[in-house]
Amino acid sequence: MSKKPMFSPSLMCMDLMDIKHQMEILNSRADFYHVDIMDGHFVKNITLSPDFVKAVSSVAKLPLDCHLMVTTPDDFIEPLAKAGAGYICPHAETINSDAFRMIYKIKSLGCKVGVVLNPATPIEYIRQYIHLLDKITIMSVDPGFAGQPFIREMLGKIRQAKEWKEQNGYSYLIEVDGSCNERTFKDLDEAGAEVFILGSSGLFNLDPDLAAAWDKMKKIFHEQTGK
């Protein structure tokens, strides 16, 4: 029996002038909130921060899933944990010199741990510690900016993550970040994606009324996948 799909709206794509109201709408609909933390070095953009996580944690009724697009993730782990992060997810490319220490540190602070893979990074890169992860995020666009085209080669990486999970009894969630929308829902679902990060094309641009946009997204998803 297939799992119920899970959805994670990207707070970077919200109307930040109306974020409290929008989060109140999504609290009863979504499964996570995706929070992009960027430092201007690992990627050229700069978006949200630990202070932002602290500010929205009083409104959020869902786990705040913090995606660390930063060169030195260790600088952000404790501040994010104290701010109210539910998941802390650094990029594999930034932690492989001390991945085990970083994973255990995140867990010791009471957070769940995920790892994010850039499109050009093979899943084999995290093979030695994949069993410790609560979530794997597969980037289906190059990181740093919203609105990029879907990289279809990532479907194979999603299938590999699913195969390893099923073969070994791992419990990590398989999440996709980038261009999750009506053009990709079917292929992503069939490949094995379980958590879909929703940005402008997948949710926020569907309707000015966010509740209506959510209903449209769910209808599109059902039409594409039967779920």
In a domain, 44, yes or no: yes
Q: What is the predicted pLDDT for the residue at 147?
A: 60
Q: Which amino acid is at 95?
A: I
Q: What is the predicted pLDDT for the residue at 207?
A: 97
- Exposure string for 8-42, b = 16+ CB within 10 A, e = fewer: bbbbbbbeeeeeeebbebbeeebbbbbbbbbbeeb
In a domain, 42, yes or no: yes
Percent of the chain at pLDDT exceeding 90 = 82
The pTM score is: 0.94
Q: Are 87 and 114 in contact (CB under 8 A)?
A: yes
Q: Give tens-digit pLDDT for 94-152.
A: 998 899 999 999 999 999 999 999 999 999 999 999 999 999 999 998 875 666 788 99
Q: Give tens-digit pLDDT for 157-214.
A: 999 999 999 999 999 999 999 889 999 999 999 999 999 999 999 999 999 999 999 9
Binding annotation for substrate: 67, 144-147, 177-179, 199-201
Question: Cα(64)–Cα(42) distance, rounded to whole angstroms?
Answer: 21
Q: Which amino acid is at 187?
A: D
In a domain, 1, yes or no: no
What's the CATH code of the domain at 158?
3.20.20.70
Domain that residue 73 falls in: 6-225
- Exposure string for 71-98, b = 16+ CB within 10 A, e = fewer: eebeebbeebbebbbbbbbbbbbbbbee
Question: Cα(202)–Cα(164) distance, rounded to whole angstroms?
Answer: 28
The set of residues, in sequence order, having a beta carbon less than 8 Å from that of 219 and lying 6+ positions away, is none
Question: Cα(70)–Cα(165) distance, rounded to whole angstroms?
Answer: 27
Instruction: Indicate the number of domains in the chain.
Output: 1
Positions marked catalytic: 36, 177
Binding annotation for a divalent metal cation: 34, 36, 67, 177
- Exposure string for 138-164, b = 16+ CB within 10 A, e = fewer: bbbbebbebeeebbeebbebbbbbeeb
Instruction: Judge whether residue 47 has pLDDT over 80.
Output: no
Q: What is the predicted pLDDT for the residue at 40?
A: 47
Dihedrals φ, ψ of 223, to 5°? Answer: -65, -35
Q: How many residues does the chain have?
A: 227
Instruction: Judge whether residue 43 has pLDDT over 60.
Output: no
48 pLDDT band, cuts 50/70/90, is confident
In a domain, 142, yes or no: yes
Q: Give tens-digit pLDDT for 22-32.
A: 999 999 999 99
- Of the candidate ranges 29-33, 41-45, 53-57, 108-112, the one whose mean pLDDT is the lowest: 41-45
Binding annotation: 34, 36, 67, 144-147, 177-179, 199-201
Helix (H/G/I), strand (E/B), else coil: 135: strand
